[in-house]
Homo-oligomer: A and B are copies of this chain.
Amino acid sequence: MLPKSQLQFIKSLHQKKFRKEHGLFIVEGLKSITDFFYSDHIIHSIYSIPKVEPKIDIFGKKIKHYPISDRDLQTISTLKTPQGMLALVEIPNRRHFDKGGLRNQYSIVLDTIQDPGNMGTIIRTADWFGVRHIICSPETVDIYNPKVVQATMGSLARVSVLYTDLRPFLKDIQLPVYAAVLNGESIYKTDFGTEGLIVLGNEGNGISADLTGKETKPVTIPSFGNAESLNVAVSAAIFCSEISRKR
Contact = CB atoms under 8 A, between A and B. Distances in A.
Contacts of A155: 226-227
Count of this chain's copies in the oligomeric assembly: 2
Given A125-B234, A127-B226, A234-B234, 9 more contacts: A121-B234, A128-B221, A128-B223, A154-B227, A231-B233, A234-B237, A237-B238, A238-B241, A241-B242
Given A188-B245, A241-B238, A241-B241, A230 B124 contact: yes
A242 B245 CA distance: 10
Nearest to A39: B226
Contact of A224 (B130, B221, B230): B130
B188 A225 contact: no
B229 A153 contact: yes
A138 interface: no
20 contacts: A121-B233, A124-B227, A124-B234, A125-B230, A127-B226, A128-B221, A128-B224, A128-B227, A128-B229, A128-B230, A129-B225, A131-B225, A224-B244, A231-B233, A233-B233, A233-B234, A237-B237, A237-B238, A238-B238, A241-B241
